[in-house]
């Protein structure tokens, strides 16, 4: 038995304001089936069905990976949560579950608020289209309506400092310029909950400072931030709550502002 509830707060405006941004997980499990070639083919499923007995028994023990194991927490408005843990400890999977991409295999997850997923900010970009087209495409991906994008277009274009390049295909951009564009669009939306994999840093020194400022105000405008990171400094700087993940479980929770990480 599992459940996922997502409520888009933006769509609820006008409902006498009792709705607050919130993430609530109860025994959240995210478990991936692992398909080897033999598992994924129809032949095996069919053979299993016909032969029964021994092979069917073997098929019963399907290989699966528990990326998040019985996680429970409640994140309320104003909280900035950092996720710590080794590679493969389930941070990104948890972020994807919060973004609503993976529905819990078991347990419950309740997400209230408009989620901005900054897991891959280049998602949806088309290198052969112009910079302006890409602002549009990326905006659509972030859930903006065409009208919203057009309203934000000049602000986004101005921030990128790309000038006339915006009329050129993105293919002609350097990777830094492409990142600027993706970053500018991704941080231009109004979100209640931000889900981020590592703090984004873009461009050269001077631009990075400007970008950092924008990202900070983007995060400040949101009610909740959940960020996966390896950096202790960032954790102290940005977060007021931290979870340490190991083998898909939360093994430790602490306040990064008071406790030393370790």
Partner 1 sequence: MDELGVAPLESRRMVKESRYTLAFQDLLGGVNKASIWSVLGWQDIKQRYRRSMLGPFWLTISSTIMVAALGLLYATLLGQSIQEFIPHVAAGLLVWIFLSTMILEGCTVFISSEGIIKQIRLPLTVHVCRMVWRNVMIFLHNIVILLCVLYFVPQINILDLLTIPVAILFIALNGIWLGVVLGVFCTRFRDIHQIISNFVQILFFVTPIFWKPELLEDRGWIAIYNPAYHFIELVRSPLLGKGIPVFSWSVTMLLTTVGFMLAFVMLAHYRHRVAYWL
User: Which of residues 7 and 261 has its CB atom nearest to partner 1 in the complex?
Assistant: 7
User: Which of residues 18 and 258 has its CB atom nearest to partner 1 in the complex?
Assistant: 18
DSSP letter (8 states) at residue 104: P
- Shortest CB 142 distance to partner 1, Å: 8
Annotate 164-175 with DSSP letters as a single string. Answer: GGGGSBGGGS-H
- Shortest CB 100 distance to partner 1, Å: 3
How many angstroms separate the CA atoms of 105 and 31, rounded? 6
- Say if strands 241-246 and 80-84 run parallel, antiparallel, or are unpaired: parallel
- Shortest CB 160 distance to partner 1, Å: 20
User: Which of residues 110 and 212 has its CB atom nearest to partner 1 in the complex?
Assistant: 110
- Shortest CB 185 distance to partner 1, Å: 14
* Residues of the shown chain interacting with partner 1 in the complex, contacts defined by CB under 8 A: 1-7, 12, 15, 18-20, 24, 26, 32-33, 35, 40-43, 45, 96, 99-103, 105, 108, 110, 115, 117, 119-120, 123-124, 126, 128-129, 136-137, 140-141, 143, 145-146
3-state secondary structure (DSSP) of residue 81: strand
Token reading at 31: 């478990």
Residue with tokens 């997502």, as numbered in its chain: 6
How many angstroms separate the CA atoms of 168 and 161, rounded? 14
């Amino acid at each position: 038995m599992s459940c996922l509830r997502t409520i888009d707060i933006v769509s609820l405006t006008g409902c006498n304001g009792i709705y607050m941004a919130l993430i609530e997980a109860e025994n959240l499990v995210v478990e991936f089936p692992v398909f080897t070639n033999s598992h994924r083919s129809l032949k095996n499923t069919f053979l299993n069905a016909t032969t029964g007995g021994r092979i069917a028994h073997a098929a019963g023990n399907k290989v699966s990976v528990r990326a998040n194991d019985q996680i429970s927490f409640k994140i309320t408005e104003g909280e900035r949560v950092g996720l710590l843990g080794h590679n493969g400890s389930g941070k990104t999977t948890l972020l994807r579950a919060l973004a609503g991409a993976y529905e819990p295999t078991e347990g419950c997850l309740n997400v209230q608020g408009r989620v901005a997923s900054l897991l891959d900010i280049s998602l949806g970009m088309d290198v052969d289209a112009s910079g302006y087209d890409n602002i549009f495409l990326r905006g659509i991906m972030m859930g903006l309506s065409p009208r919203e994008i057009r309203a934000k277009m000049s602000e986004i274009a101005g921030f990128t400092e790309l000038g006339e390049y915006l009329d050129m295909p993105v293919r002609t951009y350097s990777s830094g310029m492409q990142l600027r564009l993706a970053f500018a669009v991704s941080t231009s939306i109004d979100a209640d909950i931000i889900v981020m994999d590592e703090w984004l840093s873009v461009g050269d020194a001077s631009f990075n400072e400007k970008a950092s400022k924008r990202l900070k105000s983007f995060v400040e405008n949101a009610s909740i931030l959940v960020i996966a990171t390896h950096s202790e400094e960032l954790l102290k700087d940005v977060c007021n709550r931290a979870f340490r993940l190991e083998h898909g479980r939360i093994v430790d929770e602490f306040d990064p502002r008071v406790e030393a990480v370790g």
